[in-house]
Structures are given as structure tokens and as C-alpha cells.
Amino acid sequence: MKDFIKNRIATLSKEIEEHNERYYSDSNPILSDFDFDKLLEELILLEKENPEFLLSDSPSQRVGGTITKEFITVNHRYPFLSLGNTYSEEELADFDERVRKGLGVDEVEYACELKYDGLAIGLRYQNGILTQGVTRGDGTQGDDVTFNARTIKNIPLRLKKGSWPNDFEIRGEVILPRSIFNNINKEKEELGEAPLANPRNAASGTMKMQDSAVVSSRKLSAYMYMLLGESIISTTHFESIDAARSWGFNIPDYTEKVQGLEGVKKFIQKWANDRFQLDFDIDGVVIKANLYDQQKVLGFTSKSPRWAIAYKFKAEQVETILQAITYQVGRTGAITPVANLDPVQLAGTVVKNASLHNADIIEKLDVRIGDSVYVEKGGEIIPKIIGVNLAKRSPSAALVQYITHCPECKTELQRGEEEAKHYCPNEYGCPPQIKGKIEHFVSRRAMNIDSLGGETINQLFESTLIQNIGDLYDLPNQKDKLIGLDRMAEKSVNNLIDGIEQSKNIPFERVLFAIGIRHVGETTAKKIANHFRNLDALLLATREQLLEVAEVGEVLADSLLNFFKDEKNLALINKLKSAGLCFELSEAQLAHRSEKLSGLTFVVSGVFSRSRDEIKSLIEQHGGKNTSSVSAKTSYLVAGENMGPEKLKKAEKLAVKIIDENELFRLMN
């Protein structure tokens, strides 16, 4: 009986995956949804009753159900480099000339692909099994989204038979087809919920959902376009992805192999016209030198390959009427003017608002209420006004008078000499600033109190239970008041209190970022924390001492000094200290520190066995200082593969010592 069940599970798994491929990759289903669901139900039931036969690559795993509390950040084995962009045929011709000159040939064979507008992802396969899915992140590290990746029907969990390497990575883009996006929004409108903004953001947001069952229900697709690994299976990019297609990957048929610049232009012209017929969004075309040997010869800059470029289509543009200008207040007090427009269809979405950025932009555009304005989406995402149809302007249209007082708290606005924006200085009494600071404080990359969303924060603020970030730590003692609020049942309150208690374990550098000091971002907070090691030392730092920290300039140094001399801020920090938050590096962090590189300045350039950020962090842990450019004050240039040639040339000219990754580690040890 057990053998029969095992064989039946294997048969069902194979059959279901074949139908998945027909439906999602070939768009040629031969089975009704009802019959398909019956097969899947039988498989799930058999696996539930016989868990010893459940495999990680079973098609039942595509249904989801795994809850991911936190997405782990992992380093990429191969950096996700950016592509250089061009919008003109002239720049495209310059690229072709550079490539031909670098290779010493008259004509280059290119592989041309569509530039999908979604979420970049890298999938790792070991012995033919999907073992990891990681988002692009910042290029050197991304979030592990393996459970969610398994729910995407055209990502193979187990490869078909073929000559695939035992360990490789394939990269591509996760997208939400526009037809599915429109259906989701239709359902949301019927339920009275806010619609999703656009397919790209929806795909990205879906992949970061905690419940993989919800991810599965969204019916995402993955389009793959690049193989990476130690074993090269062919001599060209085009042949590699063609082989990957035979292994079960969704490699679009849109990719073409063309000869020279004229072939590239024909491909671009075709898709400039045909892109609107696709069921997904693209924002351009990617052009790559097809031969791997040629790619090696051309190499890389510090940020992008020299053998590839992205040709971006010009943003779609429409004309509509500017009805009004309203003003939004951010968490730092920055005022952002927003154009309220007659609704208009643009790049697949209805646009009602557009950013006007600041007073200077309004003056430069000379935009006026009632004007007929030209709107486009910058990068196909954010709507912006790019001009005015003066021929349609009313003679009575008046100049826009920028507001002088905060639209929320009526405090007079301020604007520094070198500031682009106006600011409301009432940071302790302006509601949007207070709520914005709290939202920033509880966000995932700060204190990670995920049970506190914007609506809950607004409710707690309006009920006067919280008026600043310090008040959050009083909430565990006010459980009765919390349960009395709308939509706050006992389970919700317990989750909230648990999240607040767990946030006390967040390390010093993230607490420093969470506090919301103006100009102190996530990376800068980490550098400051590593440099001073605890808050008390930071509070005593002079301007000169602050400027010694890598990436801390005069504006940031002044912002820190102004923040810490304010009595209200000091009182808030004391309250957070009393609550038990971490304001010093942990013993584990300090245990690996030394002064072995004290007084030495490093420039790190190229690709290494670990990320550049990790190497820079190690340098700082051992007392060294990182800078971005080579100068006479540079002690060492740490050179990796494909490092920037200009840095190398300058280092040789200035007689700066050049070392590799291993020599750096010997210095530290």
C-alpha cells in the first residue's frame, strides 16, 4: 500500500507540474481549473496522510501557507550590478562604438531582451532543486524570499533532465501580469478597499508578504534572463538561456540575437510600438554582447558591466488640468506641494496627483491653477508635471503663492539658505510629524514593531495614548485602555505588547536610526554607532570628532549637534533608556573590534568573495577608515576583480600601496 501511495504521489506531482507549465509558461492549458484543483486536492491529502513522502519540490508547496516573520538578509554570491541607461540612439551608437573599439572588431553580435518592470530576483539551484530565492536588495545583499518564490507557478522546483550545472544561479524578474492586477483592483473596489498602485509595486510588495498562501493567490510570474555559476555550459549568453528554457525555466521568446547596431535599432523600434500589446509592463530593452569571451574582455566598471546597456523608452506623456495645489507635511517637517489633477490615464494607471517637489520647481515651471499641464511618469512610476501648455492658459491665471504657514499646525514655515524645501519647525506639536516619526521608529528596518501600522498609530495618537516614540513603552501598562479601542481585541493588544517588548533587543545602530535624527540614514547610523560605540560618547562628541566619522559631513554633524543639545530630545532619549532600549554596542560586537588598522585609510574597489560593505565594515571594526576616492592620504587600495581602472591608475600615480583581499585580512590578523 505504501508503495502504491508513493507512486501515486510521484505520478500526481509530475502531472500537476506538466499542467502548470502548459498554463503558465505555454499559455496552452488542456485541463479545466476544476479538474486541476481535484488533482491538487488529492496530492495534498495524500501528502498530509503520508508526510514521509512530502518533498520540498512537491507542487503542493506552491499553494503556500508558510508564515515568514522576518526576511533574512543574505549576501549575493555574485553582485547584482546596475546597467548603464540611455534614452537616445546617439548614446546607443556611442555604446556600440566603445564595445567595438574595446574588442577590436567591426561588428558585434548582441543579445537583445525586454527590460521587465518588476522585482529582480536570483534563484539558486543545487543538484537540480530550488534551494534559495533572494531579491536584488542593494546589489550586494538582498532578502531571502525562498518560501514565496516556491509559490510562483512558472519557477521550477525541480529541473527537467538536462546538462544543468550542479550549482548555479539564474536571475530574472518577478512580475504581476496586468490582467491579474486589474482583476485584483476590481475586487478591491467592490470591497471598498484602496486599489493597488501599479503592477511593479504590487509584485514587489507581494513577494515581501509574510503569508506565502497570499503570495500564491496573487498568481505572480517570473521571467528569467541570465545564468551565473562557476561552470560555463556554452560560449554565448543566448545559448545559455536557450538551454535554461529546456530545463523548465520561463525564458521569454522575445529575446533575439542580432548583428550590430542596426539589428539593435530594429529590435528597439519593434518593441517601442508593440510593448503596449503585452500583458505586463516593460520600460525598455537590454542589449548585451552575446559572446562570453567578449564580455570577459570588456569587463566591468565599479557599478556596471561594460558589455551591456539598457535603452529606456521615453516616458508616456499626457495632458490634463491642474485643479489645485495641496501641501503635505513629512515626518521631518518637510513640506511637499502636490498637484491635484483631473484624473487621466497614464502608463496603465489613472493619475490624480503629481508631485511638485518644492517652491523652486513651481516657480521654474510657472505652473498656475487651471493650467493645462503635461504629465509623465518618471521611470514609469512617479507622476510629475514637466511643462505647461501656455496656448491654453487663461489670461486671469494668477501666480501661485507658496504657503507661509504649516497646513496642519499653522506654524510659520522656515527655509534654510541651502535647503530646497520649506520646513515646519514645530516637530513636537505638528501631528503629521509626530505620527510620521512614530511610523519611522516602528518600521521594519528600525525597531521592527510590525503590529503597529499607520491606522493603529493614528488611533493611539488621537486617543492621546501616545504623543511621541517614548510613549510606546508605556503601552504595556495600559492594556485595559488598549482593549477598549476599536479593532483592538485582546489578541491584537497582546501582539502589540509583545512587539514592543521584543524591540528592546534591537541593536544600538538601528535604535540610532529609528530615533529619526535629520539626515541620519540607516548606513550612516551604523557608521556612527561603530565609531563611538555608545550613546554617551556620541553625546560628548565635538563637531571635529563627528567629522572624523566616514560619510559624516558638515550638514550631518550640525544636525547631530542640534538634535542632542535640545532638552526635549535628551528627555526623550532618557525615557527610551529607562525603557531598556540598547544604546551601546553589544559585547559580541565589541569582541571582534581592535585598533590594528588605526590611523590607516582604505579605498575598496572591485568584486570580492564577500560584499564590499562587509569588507568596509571589517576595516572600521579594526579602527581603519574608508573613503570613496584615492588621494595622497590613502594608505591602501584594496583591489578586487574588475576594479575601477581610474582608481588603479591614480593609486599607481600617487604610489599608494595596492593589496588584495587576503593581504587585508593578514593586516587585520
Which grid cell sits at 536? 554617551
CA 78 – CA 401 distance, rounded (Å) = 52
| Residue 550 DSSP symbol | T
CA 203 – CA 181 distance, rounded (Å) = 9
- Residues 298, 304, 310, 314, CA torsion sign: negative
Q: Is residue 68 left, alpha or beta, with left meaning phi > 0 and alpha meaning psi from -120 to 50? A: beta
Q: Which are the contacts of 361, defined by CB distance < 8 A and separation ≥ 6?
A: none
Instruction: Judge whether 568 counts as a catalytic residue.
Output: no
What is the 3-state composition of the chain as percent helix, strand, coil, each rounded to the nearest 5?
40, 20, 35
CA 617 – CA 627 distance, rounded (Å) = 12
Of 114, 68, 80, 82, nearest in space to 206 by CA: 68
Of 572, 386, 550, nearest in space to 473 by CA: 572
Q: Which residue stretches of 355-471 are H helix?
A: 359-365, 431-442, 454-462
Number of neighbours of residue 160 by Cβ within 10 angstroms = 13
CA 644 – CA 630 distance, rounded (Å) = 11
14, 38, 69, 115: which is the annotated catalytic residue?
115
List the strands of the sheet with 119-126, edge to edge: 129-135, 119-126, 167-175, 221-228
The helices-and-strands tally (H runs, E runs) of the chain is: 25, 20
Distance of CA 333 to the CA centre of its chain: 25
Active site residues: 115
